[in-house]
Amino acid sequence: MKMKRQKTAVVASLLAVLLITIATILVCRNFYPQYISLPTEDLRGDLCHSDSGEWYVDEESAGKGIVLYGPYMYLEKGDYTVEVDYACSEDNYMDVHANGSSEYLLSGDVPLSRISTHKTFTFRLKENVDDLEIRVGYEGSGFLKVNEITLYKNANDIKRAAFLLSMCILMALFIYLKWDAILANRERIAWMLLTAIIASAPMFAEGFCYGHDGRFHMLRIEGIAQGLLNGQFPVRMQGQWMEGYGYPVSIYYGDILLYLPAILRIIGFSVSAAYKSYVFLVNLGTVVIAQLCFERITGDRKAACIGASAYIFAMYRLVNMYVRTALGEYTAQMFLPVILLAVCKIYMKKPEEENSEKDSIKNALLLTLGMTGLIQTHLISVAMVCILLVILAIVLYRTTFTKRTMLTYLRAGIMTLGINMFFIVPFVDYYINVPVRVMHEGEEELVKAIEHKGAYIGQYFMLYQNATGGAKYNVSDRMGLTPGIVLMLALIIAVYVCLKNSDRLLRILTAMSVLTLFMASNLFPWNDIINHVPFMGWIYNIQFPFRFLSLAQVLLALLLCRVLALYADRMQEWLYPAVAVAIVAVAFQQCTAMMQDRPYTMVYDAAQIDSFSVGNGEYIREDTDEELFDGEIYSNDVISLGNYQKDGTHAEFWCETGASGDAWVELPILNYKGYHAKDRYGNGLETEDGNNNVLRILLPQDYTGLVTVDYAVPGSYRMADLGSLLCIIELFIVLFKQDLAFTAKFVRKRSVGR
């Protein structure tokens, strides 16, 4: 009877979600966008209005400030889109305003770049307003011309409501189906949710703090969203970067998990809401994965809960999340406990407990899942984990060089390569064939130095230190490069326990924790290794030795679990809650440090973010100077050219060429491998590098017509996509079979017990 009710609930819930989805699609297609007529006669300011409908200003006619404003019109609450066509010789800006207060309006300043002529952005009105104001700001130099401003209502509010309603239905269904399991584990679930919420506390502040790399990662999310809308899957070339010049960040930087916030952007959530949702999901995923993995290793649930919370509240992890905004690195930390579980199972299992074939497959699967998580989030973390695995393999060589261990590593390697082919093949192709800054440096430095960017040993033991800062020489100018007081106390206690206890796992964890802390410091001889050890120069790309704190933290968290598990029978019952309260208290202090004295800004649409936020431009073509980008189209032996349009990675223009046979057009698109041009008949046109590595299209003589440009994925990439899909399907089949075998075994045990 219960099974029948559950099936009915599943069918009803899925049918409800399907109907909501269909209704939303129909409404959005049939009623939106709703264009709104702007009373241009009510627009005012220092811009001169011509008979052709343009507004113009230069430094002779106006000074710095708002030069166009109005029309102070009535507008109902909801989501709206503004499009502006303009031209300017220097960067300017625009925004929307209402009722003299941002309480009514979710928006922000939108830059009008000198190398672009069109800008689109959205804003949201939380209440009806009667004085909506569109404002254009002038920076006081050069000229600014506004050709047209278009306003229309979009369907983002309807899409958001439909999505949230669907999620509520699915969540209610999940709770109904898993109610017994939820009740049985309610304390653990409540603790994990509480931990994730507290760890996400800085995200509950109004606005958003970009931190070190926030703009870069928000643009990655927006690039995936726009790529999906333009028909790319998986997204590889993101066309919106650098005002349309494009950036292949998805080829060099694994981003499969960023499809979650990208889908939220497509649904209609603001860019900051999508990012904050991602942060909460990562925090929740980290505490759940850490708790499950630590429990599997130590066999103690309470100790695992304590260790998982200590891990998620580790100081350097929070610094990564809220100061450095190192999205890839803090996401990779979610998968480190999985790798740790696999390694512990490989090396710590007793001979009498071994079932070589089954254990080898399970351990290989765990290692595959963990390494896949790192590959798809942060390649530098892959390198750091591999360094540590090599060290561990050498130290424990007697276990490493056995048939079972070597077979496990071989299986894990093959499965990891298979699952990640869709990312590895394009990455290797670009690494070999596309010279970019990070992969192909022009002039090598005589001496490469990264040691000075390591953490100071003294920082590990500082109770209070600035959360913000960098990796500068003065401690007062440095961010909190430490695992934090809880994990450092765990290390001190573990060292003392090692003197009295011969537990092998405890000693290995203690030694590896000390080693990673040493490797993360400025005392480890990284410079000598990079400059004097053959084939080790690649370590320079790790950039910051303090990144090894990520590995130190997960080792220290497991070390804490191990100590608690070893002495569980001697500990009073009240000690676990006391430790939990202490960890939460430390977490409050650390979250306070992350939030105070940091600039928060209202970020609603990605158009507000400078599209040149590429960091050091690691993936820009070598010998390219982005300062010379001007957004102009250049040509040779072209009689006329016009109607240039670009949408994502697609561009087109109309042209007429001369008879010399040396006609070409250079578009404001960086020439990365994969771009192809076609004439009006669909015939391919030859392309090459133009000035400053932009895309140059060679045109035939006496040609008149349309030319189209698209980023086309090579067949080898599609074969890799298919290979990864087949490997993932096979992995799910293996996991499903193992789950069936476990269920059958459990049923047999229950039957025997009766």
Q: Tell me the pLDDT tens digit for each residue of 667-683.
A: 999 999 999 999 998 99
Instruction: Looking at the structure, tell me whether residues 15 and 110 fall in a common domain.
Output: no
CA-to-CA separations, 372 to 233, 538, 611, in angstroms, rounded? 19, 21, 29
Number of structural domains (the chain) is 4
- Distance between CA atoms of 108 and 210, rounded to whole angstroms? 14
Average pLDDT, the chain: 88
- If asked whether residues 395 and 448 sit together in one domain, one would say yes
The confidence score (pLDDT) of residue 101 equals 61
Do 20 and 38 belong together in one domain?
no
Domain assignment present for 603: no
Coil vs helix vs strand at 191: helix
Banded pLDDT at 500 (limits 50, 70, 90): confident
Statement to judge: residues 578 and 501 lie in one domain: yes
Q: What is the mean pLDDT of residues 485-504?
A: 89
Which residue type occupies 707? V
The parent domain of residue 648 ranges over: 630-711
Q: Are residues 472 and 406 in the same domain?
A: yes
User: Does any domain span residue 93?
Assistant: yes
In this structure, are 111 and 222 located in the same domain?
no
CA-closest candidate to residue 389, choices 351, 416, 426: 416
pLDDT at 754 over 70: no
Question: Which range, of 445-459, 537-551, 690-704, averages the lowest pLDDT?
Answer: 445-459
pLDDT for residue 750 is more than 70: no
Query: In b/e form, how buried is each residue of 650-685, taking b as 16+ CB within 10 angstroms?
Result: ebbbebebeeeeebbbbbbbbbbebbebbbeeeeeb
pTM of the model as a whole? 0.92
How many Cα atoms within 13 Å fall on the side-chain side of residue 496? Answer: 8
What is the average pLDDT across 443-451?
Answer: 65
User: Can you give the CATH number for the domain in which 660 is found?
Assistant: 2.60.40
The span from the CA of 139 to the CA of 92, in Å, is 6
Of 5-19, 87-101, 316-330, 563-577, the range with the lowest mean pLDDT is 563-577
The pLDDT > 90 percentage for the chain reads: 60
pLDDT at 739: 57
Same domain (yes/no): 258, 351: yes
Q: Is residue 485 part of a domain?
A: yes
**Residue 313 maps to a domain:** yes
Here the CATH number for the domain that contains residue 123 is: 2.60.120.260
Mean pLDDT of 233-244: 93
Q: Which amino acid is at 17?
A: V
The per-residue DSSP string of 215-264 comes to HHHHHHHHHHHHHHHTT-SS---BTTHHHHT-B-HHHHS--GGGHHHHHH
Q: At CB < 8 A and 24+ separation, what contacts does 642-646 make?
A: 646/239, 646/244
612 located within any domain = no
**Domain shared by 202 and 256, yes or no:** yes
How many residues are given for the chain?
754
List, for residues 580-610, the tens digit of each pLDDT value: 888 888 888 887 777 776 788 888 999 999 9
Half-sphere exposure of 610 (CA within 13 A, CB side): 10
**Same domain for 579 and 648:** no
Answer yes or no: are the C-beta atoms of 93 and 128 closer than 8 Å: no
Give the Cα separation of 560 and 487 in Å (integer).
7
pLDDT confidence band for 350 (50 / 70 / 90) = low
Cβ–Cβ < 8 Å for 145, 86: yes
Least trusted range by pLDDT, from 112-126, 568-582, 625-639, 659-673: 568-582
User: CA–CA separation, 672 vs 621, rounded Å?
Assistant: 8
Closest by alpha carbon to 74, among 125, 122, 131? 131
pLDDT at residue 747, rounded to an integer: 46
Contact between 520 and 546 under an 8 Å Cβ cutoff? The reply is yes
Contact 236, 430 (CB under 8 A): no
Confidence of residue 744 (pLDDT cuts 50, 70, 90): low
pLDDT band at 547 (very low <50, low <70, confident <90, very high): very high
The pLDDT confidence band at residue 741, using thresholds 50, 70 and 90, is: low
pLDDT digits (tens, 9 = 90+) for 155-195: 999 999 999 999 999 999 999 998 988 998 888 999 999 99
With a CB cutoff of 8 Å and minimum separation 6, the contacts of 510 are: 491, 494, 495, 498, 559
The verdict on 195 and 76 lying in the same domain is no
* 325 in any annotated domain: yes
Among the listed residues 642, 717, 636, the one whose alpha carbon sits nearest the alpha carbon of residue 235: 717
Kindly state whether residues 86 and 71 are assigned to the same domain: yes
| Within a domain: 754 | no
Query: Which residue matches tokens 């650390």?
Result: 590
Question: Does residue 234 have a cis peptide bond before it, meaning omega lies within 30 degrees of 0?
Answer: yes
Residue 740 maps to a domain: no
pLDDT at 746: 45
**Do 14 and 123 have their domain in common?**
no
Give the whole-angstrom CA distance, residue 652 versus residue 678: 9
